[in-house]
Structure 1
Amino acid sequence: MGVLWKLEPATAAKHRLYQRYLDAWWPILLQTAQSTGYTRPRVTLLDAFAGPGRYQDGEPGSPVIILDRLLHHDALDRMQLSPQRVHLVFIEKDRARYEHLMAELHARFGPLGDLPVRVEVRRGEAGLDSLPLLTELGAWGHPILGIFDSWGSVNVPLDVMRRIARNRSSEVITTFGPNWFSRREDLNLDILDTVFGGRTFWTPADEELRSDERWRIWLTTYRDALRRAGFGYQLQFQLVPRTGQPLYLVFGTGSPAGLRAMKDAMWKVDDRDGESFRDPRTRGAEADGQLNFFQMDELCDPELVELVTQRLKTGPAVVETIGEWLLTETARWMPKHALKAARQMRQDGQITVTGAGKLTTKSRISL
């Protein structure tokens, strides 16, 4: 692969997801809290696989998107930007891509030292240099969003994730490339040990031979690794573009607000482009395209029904409890969808409702 490469459909869809998420993330962390008057002294975003800043046909890369989106945010006048308070950190290993990224940022934004935020562009390796660089910049003790967005091998040690997980109000996004699960054998076993936290954790996934199951079990294995690292909430999902190969993402956060913000971003991604998000737990429901909230008023997505069915197979539950499970354990579904699914499933004769009366979030249901 040269300095620049073609923008894949899944990467374009992922960028739209990041844009929507950052649109919510920046004001949550940078605006003064109305209830307490507290203003966070520092916020850091780390893009550890930054790339050259541009694609082959001129589309902007993630560093350009991140910086441009922040500098033109609707809430800019309320976020109190300053180089001391907001740090954007971009790491790129390849010398030619690093130099291209520097040139691209200067061409788009002018001298980086004149910007209202601190922009650090470093040549280095994500796994080796992320923690020392965060230490150098005084990021610890303040919110960090770490984006580990490698198209190829996922080779960032779990110790990096663990250190970020233990830092207050911090989150990570890790991307697995489209061929990782079929070509994983190219990786050094010792690297897999560092990424997943030990051989005993990833060996069961390696023993799975069915091609359509490999991505599911490997993604779940990495989600479990983020849980062990200390992230209280984790999302795992397959991003399916209209054309081209899918991408696989795992998101870790310690905040329910961060969890909701990521799911809101998934729903706001423009479905006209044809992408969808697929939960690895589902097998019968195909990803035919993302339903928006207006469509959900009339339709009940088969994936949602399949997931609620899986939850009820473990025993009866109150609809409200199922909603909480949808929020914390499924790729994109929210608590509000539990009642919709229950109504559809009752209409189809799939569930039994305990007691008489109207079906509500307090109703107890079973298969």
Structure 2
Amino acid sequence: MAVPKEAVWDRDPHTAAKHDLLKRYLEAWAPILLSRKDVITYAEGFAGAGIYKQGEPGSPVIAYDVFAGALHRYPKRMRVILMEEDPRRVRELEHQMALARSRHTDHIAKRLTVDIQEGDFHPALLEKLRSVGALGQPLFVLLDSFGGPDIPYSLLHELGHQRGTEVMVTFGPTFLTRFAKKDEGYRQRGDEAFGNQEWQTVFQQPSSHKFTFLREQYRGTLRQAGFTHTLYFEMVDEGGRLLYLLFGTQHELGLEKMKDAMWKVDPSYGVRYRDPRDAKQQMLELELEPNTAPLRRILRDFVSEAPDGRTVLELQRYALLETVYRPTQVIKVVRQLRDSGVVTTGPGAITNKTRVTMATAAPEPSPSAEQEALW
């Protein structure tokens, strides 16, 4: 979306989806880390005003309320660090955070500190995190800009090489594909965001592949920065403009919890995604009954690559690390593959230890048969 000129603006459905995802993830993230550490930190580089025109809470307020709830169970401490460059939004943010604090007891508020900084987020955010000792400790950084590319690779690299840091980054490919080829300034911003010039190969890609190419290049940027595991969420606004939300972590548990959150986001918000391992690149909508046809294709191919087959535990870990799906969805899919004659398993119930092998002359399911198997 374009940068709003107003201090407070209308919240679009896709912002609501981001907030739903963020809330669900932080509700899992905070208790896990508070059970292990004495202090954890949450930071935002583009905090906004903390509220939208119709009174909906912004991400800083959502995060604060989640953390206050978690601190009722754990006698620990949390830091919230918020950066915002627009002075009008800073004033409103201070007001909204004061209101959030007033909803909780003084005992909680004393252990949940809020530090609001006015100014450009970089390098000020990194300097602030370093000064309070947050680097190297559990840290979640939300870099939710208006699409950019606004996040320099140097910041991601510094964060990614600190153990315990996770990031959620907004990335919009439109400006790079529309303007960067002829505009040196945009190309330079792209170089700074990706950390190299390899992304400029996008200009030689077919139009239909440009966005996907940039998305995968940016996932590579996150991995190069030190975030060994990445997920992406594809959002399209009312005007058809596409925006990616990317998550980076070093920990498999964080990846698993983010997947749990993404599959629970309200489908009315318009979030969708594709699995990068799916050869057909089928678009997946969030639904009450998830579409697992791509996972069936992916696991079938993975099993076929091993002469002795794979255990269910191997398939679950592959689903976690290499697909958008959750490990808990694997056993059901294996059962579907076995019932359709594609794979074989040992007798009895399917468990983590069950070995899955390709059936002799396994049938190739038709698209219509795959679709019917979903319902």
Q: TM-score, normalised by structure 2?
A: 0.81
Quote the offset at 1:108 in angstroms: 4.0
Q: 1:275 to 1:232 in 2, by over 3 A?
A: closer
Q: Does 1:143 align with 2:165?
A: no
Question: What residue identity is the alignment partner of 1:42?
Answer: V
Q: 2:173 and 2:203 mapped to 1: Cα distance?
A: 17
Q: 1:80 to 1:120 in 2, by over 3 A?
A: same
Contact 1:236 1:248 in 2 (8 A): yes
Q: 1:179 to 1:59 in 2, by over 3 A?
A: farther
| 1:210 match | 207
Question: What residue identity is the alignment partner of 2:9?
Answer: W
Contact 1:147 1:174 in 2 (8 A): yes
Question: What residue identity is the alignment partner of 2:318?
Answer: W
Write out aligned runs for 1:123-138 (5 A): 123-138=118-133
Question: What residue identity is the alignment partner of 2:49?
Answer: P
| 1:253 match | 249
| 2:47 match | 50
Structure 1 unaligned regions, length at least 5: 34-39
Quote the offset at 1:234 in angstroms: 1.5
Quote the offset at 1:24 in angstroms: 0.8
| 2:259 match | 263
Q: 1:4 to 1:280 in 2, by over 3 A?
A: farther
- 1:241-264 CA distances to partner (integer Å, 9 max, x unpaired)? 899755412111111111111111
Contact 2:346 2:355 in 1 (8 A): no
- 1:297-320 CA distances to partner (integer Å, 9 max, x unpaired)? xxx622322433554575564143
Q: Secondary structure at the match of 2:284?
A: coil
Q: Secondary structure at the match of 1:188?
A: helix
| 1:322 match | 315
Q: Secondary structure at the match of 2:263?
A: helix
Q: Secondary structure at the match of 2:72?
A: helix
Q: Does 1:227 align with 2:223?
A: yes
Q: Secondary structure at the match of 1:252?
A: strand
Write out aligned runs for 1:205-354 (5 A): 205-211=202-208, 213-239=209-235, 247-271=243-267, 275-282=271-278, 283-291=280-288, 295=289, 301-309=292-300, 311=302, 317-318=309-310, 319-331=312-324, 333-349=325-341, 351-353=342-344
Contact 1:127 1:155 in 2 (8 A): no
Contact 1:236 1:280 in 2 (8 A): no
Greater CA deviation, 224-233 or 124-133?
A: 124-133
Structure 2 unaligned regions, length at least 5: 363-375
Contact 2:235 2:270 in 1 (8 A): no
| 2:19 match | 15
Query: What is the aligned residue count?
Result: 343
| 2:193 match | 195
Choose the corresponding residue for 1:92, options 84, 90, 111.
84
Q: Secondary structure at the match of 1:5?
A: coil
Q: Does 1:26 align with 2:18?
A: no
Q: 1:108 to 1:78 in 2, by over 3 A?
A: closer
Q: Secondary structure at the match of 1:145?
A: strand
Q: Secondary structure at the match of 1:4?
A: coil
Q: 1:120 to 1:215 in 2, by over 3 A?
A: same
Contact 2:267 2:285 in 1 (8 A): no
Q: 1:209 and 1:225 mapped to 2: Cα distance?
A: 22
Q: 1:178 to 1:156 in 2, by over 3 A?
A: closer
Q: 1:340 and 1:69 mapped to 2: Cα distance?
A: 33
Question: What residue identity is the alignment partner of 2:219?
Answer: R
| 1:36 match | none
| 1:70 match | 67
Q: 2:99 and 2:346 mapped to 1: Cα distance?
A: 67
Q: 1:303 to 1:239 in 2, by over 3 A?
A: farther
Q: 1:324 to 1:108 in 2, by over 3 A?
A: closer
Q: 1:157 to 1:356 in 2, by over 3 A?
A: same
Q: 1:278 to 1:246 in 2, by over 3 A?
A: farther
Greater CA deviation, 134-143 or 268-277?
A: 268-277
